[in-house]
Chain A
Amino acid sequence: MTELILIFTGGIGALLTYVVAHDLKQGVVSASAGLSLLVGLFFYAFPNLISPRLTIDIPLVFIGASFVGMTSSTLVKNRLLILLGGLIFSGIYLISGEVFIGYGGKLGTTACISSVIIFGLGSLFKQVIPRK
């Protein structure tokens, strides 16, 4: 159940960031940082609301997945691909476990790999704008 919640968090984090950044035109840094700040502050204010693991992991998964949502709308237009990118991010995050734990940029690297994967998938299915 914990894993399912984290995978769901990844999907929501990526999609919400993409919508706020591009549809609401707030900019990618502002969208990612702003939403992640809200999630981080919520669990900082209510540390005993859910299990300790989820209290630690949900903000981390959310901010990491929000990097996937920072992908440019000119590269990936399909929101389903962004959602998929968030889910892929969560999957790699869960698999990686103790690997590179404590290393700054681990979440971003995972997000970048997820973003390139969805771009590659999108290219395969002709769902992205072709290179000029």
Chain B
Amino acid sequence: MISRQGISLLILGAIHLTFLLVLTLHDPTSLGIQFATLASLVLLFIGYGRIPRSHSRLSAKDFIVLSIVIELSGILTYYVSIDLHLGPVIASAGIGFIASYLPKLAKFPFLSSLPAPIYCGTFVGMCCSTLLVKDYFFVAYSGIIAGLIYVSTRNVLNGIGGKLGTIAFGGVVIVAFIFGQL
């Protein structure tokens, strides 16, 4: 029987696998890319198996709160990036930087837990309007799915750089698939 953490790891692994598969299929004639993908897959499986896992549990309430936080930060990032013409890097980094100081405002446990989901939401909002996103609803839906993935994968790949981006990517790709934009 697959454990809860096994399922969580499968979700993130599936996102990575999808990314690498599409990357390989994009240029199937390149031996370099195929070799790099194969080497990456071997090292990914070694890494997945050895990264420590935690046992924290999150409730349905956590999912709702985190989804709203991720969704709102995604929408705000999208607004700053597209409507204020500041670009995705300044929007994401600026909002993430401000969020990183929230725990210093007051010693509430809730505030201390906010920087990571807010930073995750900013990655959802980094979508480029000219290529993919037609409106704010796309970002909002992606934020909800990313919130679900965030809660589901709480116990795995902790401390690995880029996990938040993988969660955001998962949300965006699933919503793009539903909207037929893949």
Q: Which residues of A are in contact with B by a Cβ distance under 8 Å?
A: 14, 27-30, 32-34, 36-37, 39-41, 44, 59-60, 62-64, 67-72, 74-75, 85, 91-92, 95-117, 119-121, 123-124, 128, 131-132
A29 pairs with B115, CB closer than 8 A: yes
Cβ contacts under 8 Å, A33 to chain B: 92-97, 99-100, 119
Cβ contacts under 8 Å, A91 to chain B: 36
Given contacts A44-B86, A103-B173, A113-B19, contact A69 B161 (CB under 8 A): yes
Closest CB in chain A relative to B82 CB, distance in Å = 11
A29 pairs with B172, CB closer than 8 A: no
B20 pairs with A113, CB closer than 8 A: yes
B65 within 8 A of A: no
Closest CB in chain A relative to B42 CB, distance in Å = 8
B127 pairs with A103, CB closer than 8 A: yes
Given contacts A103-B172, A105-B168, contact A37 B160 (CB under 8 A): no
Cβ contacts under 8 Å, A64 to chain B: 165
Cβ contacts under 8 Å, B171 to chain A: 105
B127 pairs with A113, CB closer than 8 A: no
B128 pairs with A102, CB closer than 8 A: yes
Closest CB in chain B relative to A124 CB, distance in Å = 7
Q: Which positions 140-182 of chain B face chain A at CB distance < 8 Å?
A: 142, 146, 157-173, 176
Partner of A115, one of B93, B125, B142, B162: B162
Q: Which residues of B are in contact with A by a Cβ distance under 8 Å?
A: 12, 15-16, 19-20, 22-23, 26, 32-33, 36, 40, 42-48, 50-52, 74, 86-90, 92-97, 99-101, 115-116, 119, 123-128, 130-133, 139, 142, 146, 157-173, 176
Partner of A104, one of B47, B74, B93: B74
Given contacts A39-B89, A106-B169, contact A112 B163 (CB under 8 A): yes
Cβ contacts under 8 Å, B167 to chain A: 105, 108
User: For the complex, what is the distance from the CA of A101 to the CA of B172, rounded to whole Å?
Assistant: 12
Cβ contacts under 8 Å, B90 to chain A: 37, 40-41, 44, 59
What would 20 A/B residue contacts be, using CB atoms closer than 8 Å?
A29-B97, A29-B119, A30-B97, A33-B95, A33-B99, A36-B89, A63-B89, A69-B161, A70-B162, A91-B36, A96-B23, A99-B23, A101-B128, A101-B131, A104-B125, A104-B126, A108-B163, A108-B164, A111-B162, A120-B50
